[in-house]
Amino acid sequence: MIDRGVVQRLMTAAADGDRAAIEPLFQTLWPVTLAYTTRFVGDAALAEDCAQEALVKLFGQLDRFDRERDGLTWALTHATWQCRTARRQRERRREEAHDVDAAADDRGHLEDRELVRSALDTLETLAARDREVIAAVLTDDDELRRSIAPATFRKRLERALGRLRTSWRSRHGTL
């Protein structure tokens, strides 16, 4: 159980410029502030950060300490603000991460669509015979395959793919 009178006395002394009161005041406030921030934010690491920041701010403003007010309440008020700020920042980071994921998905779809469009444009540059044999492979259309000898089909496909590759390189470079 923390003694409010001790906190008040040490805080008054530190506010009056007594350097010797800083460490005992910190040692008195640290556990109670840490327990408070842990209850507030839940996460232990974040709670330590909040307690540290709250006490740094408190000690940086000690010369403004109003002796009529309760010192412990003042310290915990700093901790409350710090926890609220930390929670807001954490929520904002989560939202930003979600937005980044969504944007990455959108970007992926867009890239896929552009790739397909480029492939179709390149395919358009080929001769009808070459397009025919490539389309037959892509769509599993066996009609053309059955109408010619398998070796001829393989040769025609090989030549068509070679021309497609050349056309792609001339338009978009190597992949």
Contact positions toward other proteins, by CB under 8 A?
12, 14-18, 22-23, 26, 30, 48, 51-52, 55-57, 59-63, 67
- Provide the minimum distance between the beta carbon of 15 and other proteins in the complex, in angstroms, as a whole number: 6
Distance CA 167, CA 90 (A): 51
Q: Nearer Cβ to other proteins, position 24 or 145? A: 24
Residue number, 51 or 134, with CB nearest to other proteins: 51
Place of tokens 């937005």: 99
CB of 47 to other proteins, least distance (A): 11
> Within the chain, how many helices (H) and strands (E) appear?
7, 0
CB of 48 to other proteins, least distance (A): 6
> Residue 7: how many CB atoms within 10 A of its CB?
21
- Of 126, 110, 115, which Cα lies nearest the Cα of 175? 115
